[in-house]
Amino acid sequence: MKRFDVIIIGGCASGLVAAINAHRLYPEMSIAVVEKLPRTGKKILATGNGRCNLTNINTRCGCYTNGGFAKTALEKYSVEKSLEFFSSLGLKTYTDSEGRVYPTSNTAASVVDALRFNLDGIEVITGEAVTDVKKQDGGFVLNNEYRCNYLITATGGKASPSQGSDGSGYALAKALGHTVTNLYPALVPLTADPAVTKPLKGVRIHNAVITLEKNGKSICPARGEILFTDSGISGIAAMELAASLERIKEKGADIFAVIDLAPDMSREEIIEYLTVLRKENRRDFDSLLTGIIPKAAGIAVLKKSGVKSTISGFSENEIKIISEHIKQFRIKVTGTKGFDCAQVTSGGVRTDEINNETMESLICENLFFAGEIIDVDGICCGGFNLQWAWSSGLTAGELGGKAQC
C-alpha cells in the first residue's frame, strides 16, 4: 500500500490547482494526484475552443447555480487572486472586450503547461482510475492500493466524458456518505424540429434573444449568438438555456424556443421597413428580408408567415404577420445533445453537505471537494466554470488550515 498525506483524485482544472496550493502551504507533506487518463489537464486543452477562457472579470456569485454557497470561495480566491496565482506559475493573460480572460499565447496548452511545470514535489499517478474508496482507521484507502489522511475529490462531473470526467466521482462521493442531486447536461446545443432547422444549417444570428416557452409561459431569456445546425440550435445563447430545458422537460409537454431574430428593431420599425420595401417593390421574394436577417432565415420566416404573393401584393396584415415571425420565430425543441456534448454538468454533490469556507465535507472528516463535482455551475459561457474550478480547488488545497504531517 502506497501512503501519502494527501491524495487528490482527478488531475485537471480544480485538482491541479488544489495540489499546487496544498504543496505550497504544506511543503513537508507527501501529496499525490491520481488521474485516470494517461496525462493530466486534458479537458483544459479543449476549453475556449483551444484557447482556454480561464476566467471572466465580471464573475460574481449570481453567475452560478448555488451562488450563495460558492460566494466565500469566489471571494477568497477571486478573479484577481486566481490570476495572481497563475502569474506565480508563469502564465500571462489578457482580457477581451467582454471581460473574458485568455492566456496571452492564446493557446490552452500554455495553461496546462503552467500547471504541469509546477507539480515538482507532487507525485502524479496517471492511467489510474479510482473505482473504490473507503474510510479506514481515520484515513482513506483507494483501490486497496493507496492510503491517505486527507482526500480531495476533484473528478469533475459527467459532461464531455471523452475528456475523462465520466461521472465516476459521484459514486465515490456516495460511498463516503454524500448525496448527489439530479444531474443535467448544461452549456450544450439544443435539439429541435429538424424540418425547421435543417434548411437553416450554418445560419448564425448575432445578438439574438432566445426564450423557452412551455404552456404559453416564457422562461429564462438568453441573449447572444445562435447558430442553426441540422439537428437543432447551437451558439452561446442557445447553450445557456440547455440546463433549464432539461429541468422543465416532461413527457407530452411541448416546449418551444422563441427567437427574436432582430432584437435591435421593434415590431413597428420592421413594419415600417417592409412597408417601404412594398412601395419600392425592388426585391425578389427570397431576398425580401436580407436587409435585416440572413437570407435563409428570411425564407424560413416567409414560409412560416404563409405569405405567397409578391411584395407589392402584401396586405397590412401580412406585413404584420411577417414582423411577428421575425420577433418571435418559434421552433419546437425536443431536448439537448446530452452529456457527451455538454461543457458542464448542472447538479452534483449537495452543497448543504459541504463547508463553503473550506470545501470540507460536513459528513466525512478530512474529505474535501473541488470543482464541478459540487452542485455549482456557471450558468453562462465566458470563463465562469473554470473560475469555480480555481476558486474551489485553491480553497480545498488549504485542507481547512488544519493539516499536519
Shortest approach of ligand FAD to residue 385 CB, angstroms? 3
Among 4, 133, 169, 210, binds ligand FAD (CB under 6 A): 169
Q: Residue 125, exposed/middle/buried by CB under 10 A (0-12, 13-18, 19+)?
A: middle
Count, residues near ligand FAD per rule CB under 6 A: 39
Within residues 326-345, the interface with ligand FAD by CB under 6 A covers 343-344
Shortest approach of ligand FAD to residue 291 CB, angstroms? 35
Instruction: Determine if 9 is a binding residue for ligand FAD (CB under 6 A).
Output: yes
Instruction: Determine if 245 is a binding residue for ligand FAD (CB under 6 A).
Output: no
Instruction: Determine if 164 is a binding residue for ligand FAD (CB under 6 A).
Output: yes
**Across-strand partners of 344?**
186
Within residues 351-380, the interface with ligand FAD by CB under 6 A covers 371-372
Instruction: Determine if 78 is a binding residue for ligand FAD (CB under 6 A).
Output: no
Residues 6+ apart with CB under 8 A from 175: 132, 133, 134
Instruction: Determine if 397 is a binding residue for ligand FAD (CB under 6 A).
Output: no
Within residues 125-144, the interface with ligand FAD by CB under 6 A covers 129-130
Instruction: Determine if 323 is a binding residue for ligand FAD (CB under 6 A).
Output: no
Instruction: Determine if 391 is a binding residue for ligand FAD (CB under 6 A).
Output: no
Shortest approach of ligand FAD to residue 10 CB, angstroms? 3
Antiparallel, parallel or unpaired: β 190-192 and 329-336: antiparallel
Give the binding site for ligand FAD (CB under 6 A).
Answer: 9-15, 34-37, 42-43, 46-48, 52-53, 129-130, 154-156, 159-160, 163-165, 168-169, 343-344, 371-372, 383-386, 389
